[in-house]
Structure 1
């Protein structure tokens, strides 16, 4: 889907058609698309185009005739019909017999969902297909974010810190590679799973991140993406119960999601973790997250997601107790940097060290990151720089860094918070 097909959030909020399409996106789009891809033999582009046709038809028909009792079923049928029409129009003479046989199967009654290694969820099948080893690692993640998460190309580009046209080409190439290589649309066999796991975890992680801190738009949190990432991660935990990092990532998601409602005030303003009211956190989510982290640690195979979850748990404990253990936090980030030497991890470590050892020490670690090309357009880098400068006694430098962060931010809630910090630092 392109951003043009996405339902408007606040526009026409009382319009029943808009509400129905919004609900479809949140609750049924991925399942319908995933099943449609299976029905058309793994052709991602054909399925996406057919679903886009169906959504356009739905808006026109529902405005004329009213929203049907089962909007998802209506869109599913329309998408299948569109896929049949596209198969008939686009098949070459040499392909016509086989492709029309496929369209005939599409046109029949609903068939039972096929089983692959006892996994009954087409969405999980979709994730593993998009993460096939035949695709480049970055392409696996980008394609799955596109078709599973429903993110726009621009949102994915920002998650990867690359230009939007570059990401668009990457996604197109991934779809073509799947078609050309005849990659099977299935969950891999048990012996294939470990080599595919890293990319799948990265997919779920980035989907959750986009939901938890939306890269653009008027809202900070997109709850449907958080829920989808957690749902997929729970399925992975069922599939690979002995993989520590699966439980570590589930713990990280749950601990963050437990605080979702407290991250924005009633007035729509950003609320920093240190300013949140722990009594508003979801206790069931927190307990489940701590349980997942405990299970991960007991498996005795430390990894980046477990360390991030441990950092989050430590920070939450600090807010509840009124004092954060910054030296321990900085230590954990140091260990994490050894396992995942990414610039974002280095940025978080610099921030933690700035609290544990003083802003001057944090600024020393931040210096190389300010020259890192991948972070030049990353607002949190400049916001962290501003905070460290302000606490080191350089208000003018802090103000300039805040202005840089504001100019780069594409999220309204984030931008408003940065302006508040700028005003406070003056």
Structure 2
């Protein structure tokens, strides 16, 4: 009988897995399960083009993939419920599906602000339906409160200001992106909010959300026709509880460095899986588009009998307040940070070193720095700090 690969999750990671399997020679059946009713779509435009699209016609964010021609059985509106790894079956709300090989690509869901379940005018921004719901809210030009000054909060605040809304961003930490970048870098980002006309409130948490208002822990009361919550995401893996697929402390599938899960013939890719990085000496959980593109290439190769390690250099980007921000690498264990250019200017970069080796780069309006960094970082090169700190010197010319 023909062997079947079942892919659970029809986002970028799931779709890319199907494409890679066919491209790498898999000739068996492929079943792709998506729990949303929409054809598979790309997520980055949701916080940009979809929110600000003109007119009534929706922005087309569908993947340019002909699933029929690819020989993929795409089943939409099919939500996984229980995995029976011992007999290689999974139950969905539309029936039981048998597999020979399983790829988990279920992504992540937006973290909910405590105490707001079921409240009207409180919105996440994670799915196409979320963006479609928020689009008329922005078009109305009302007063908005954004909870969370992370990447998604900044991107939504940018779109809301472009739409003419009054925007207040509330962040419990003392600065934007506190859990992502060091204070020496994020201190320079505060004025981005000011320039855009966004009221940034840091160091205070949300105490309550009431009709038409948000109450902060310091007693402040903010007018809010709508509240958008951007406080992170969690792996969509609750349905795997009690199965042979182990989860880590974050709830992510505990994959090995070949992206294999702990159950036989089960792999995991994208936002739902963590993996050990030999490059950085720790387990990584990467919630970014590039990981959803790269991981499926390795998972497909190993499902087909290969033995390829997965140890990427993480990369992501964000468009906010008129700036194109890119980051590559992992700076947690770095011992030196160098600036290239003036952070008060529209174009600058931060570079991290460990023992003289290049480990991470943040580029704001410096795409050439990032293009060179993405070639250098996988090689773990030694660089001259004095040359790195000179923004007039190409980054590649700083290699020793």
- How would you bin the TM-score normalised by the shorter chain? under 0.3
Choose between structure 1 and 2: higher helix proportion: 1
Task: Point out the structure with max Rg over C-alpha.
Answer: 1
Greater RCO, 1 or 2 (C-alpha within 8 Å, sep 6+) = 2
**TM-score with structure 2 length normalisation?**
0.25
Of Structure 1 and Structure 2, the greater strand share is in 2
